[in-house]
Amino acid sequence: NAGVTQTPKFRILKIGQSMTLQCTQDMNHNYMYWYRQDPGMGLKLIYYSVGAGITDKGEVPNGYNVSRSTTEDFPLRLELAAPSQTSVYFCASSGTGLGLNEQFFGPGTRLTVL
Amino acid sequence: AQSVTQLDSQVPVFEEAPVELRCNYSSSVSVYLFWYVQYPNQGLQLLLKYLSGSTLVKGINGFEAEFNKSQTSFHLRKPSVHISDTAEYFCAVSSSGNTGKLIFGQGTTLQVKP
């Protein structure tokens, strides 16, 4: 049981490039989330999904897109990378019922945009 | 709207001393409260959570927190810290809705000195 896995661990992009951050969970969780973490700012929600085919915006969605074609996968897409997107990105998942309120986090992707 | 304020950005403490990390929240509805810990270069791990019932909540690694509704606080405590407790700690709040979305505080870095 791997939990939540993210790839890549590190990435350097040039301004204007695009990339997809991968997230997979093997706990059969319906709910998945993408956060970004900036120093001294805590974690901010980018997008979330309550099930396959259903996604919605969080606090800071601009510059990002997501899709959820399967229960397991929730990729985050950056179309035109900007220096403001330099951050650490975390994917998380949670189950239903009372389990909805505990999120399990992946190890993170550290992204630098130059 | 909900918000979370962690009152200290850094807390230095000597090994075996007690520690309290402070968290205040604001919300117009019933909330669920959480403390997560992030060790260096890792994802977040749940320490403890308050959903309902007893206001004193015990978590992993000897940590506990007390929910105080009148003061809208959820402070984290440990009677005797170890070097291995050095990490960043995040307080988070979730409303009793059906998406499980979390609002995080800015984080408190606990530095345990020998």
pLDDT tens for B44-53 read: 999 999 988 8
Residue of A nearest to B106 (CA): A42
Which residues partner with A77 through β-bridges? A20, A65
Is A19 strand, coil or helix?
Answer: strand
A95 with A30: CB under 8 angstroms? yes
Is B41 strand, coil or helix?
Answer: coil
B23 with B91: CB under 8 angstroms? yes
- Chain B residues with CB under 8 Å of A43 CB are 44, 90, 102, 104
- pLDDT over 80 at B90, yes or no: yes
- pLDDT over 90 at B42, yes or no: no
A104 Cβ contact list (under 8 Å, min separation 6) = A3, A4, A25, A27, A29, A92, A93, A94
pLDDT tens, residue by residue, B56-83:
999 999 999 999 999 999 999 999 999 9
Q: What is the pLDDT of residue B31?
A: 83
Q: Which one of A7, A32, A34, A37 would you mutate to disrupt binding with B, by most B Cβ within 10 Å of its Cβ?
A: A37
Lowest-pLDDT range, A73-77, A90-94, B74-78, B93-97? B93-97
- Interface of chain B against chain A, CB under 8 Å? 4, 6, 9, 32, 34, 36, 41-46, 49, 51, 90, 94, 98-102, 104-107
Residue of B nearest to A99 (CA): B100
What angle (nearest 5°) sits at the alpha carbon of residue B87, between those of residues B7 and B46?
A: 85
Q: Return d(Cα A89, Cα A16) in angstroms, integer.
A: 18
CB contact under 8 A, B43 and A107: yes
A106 with A90: CB under 8 angstroms? yes
CB contact under 8 A, B101 and A45: yes
Q: Return d(Cα A79, Cα B40) in angstroms, integer.
A: 29
Is B21 strand, coil or helix?
Answer: strand
Q: Which among A104, A113, A110, A114 is positioned nearest to A39, based on CA atoms?
A: A110
- Chain A residues with CB under 8 Å of B99 CB are 31, 48, 50, 56
- pLDDT over 70 at B97, yes or no: no
- Chain B residues with CB under 8 Å of A46 CB are none
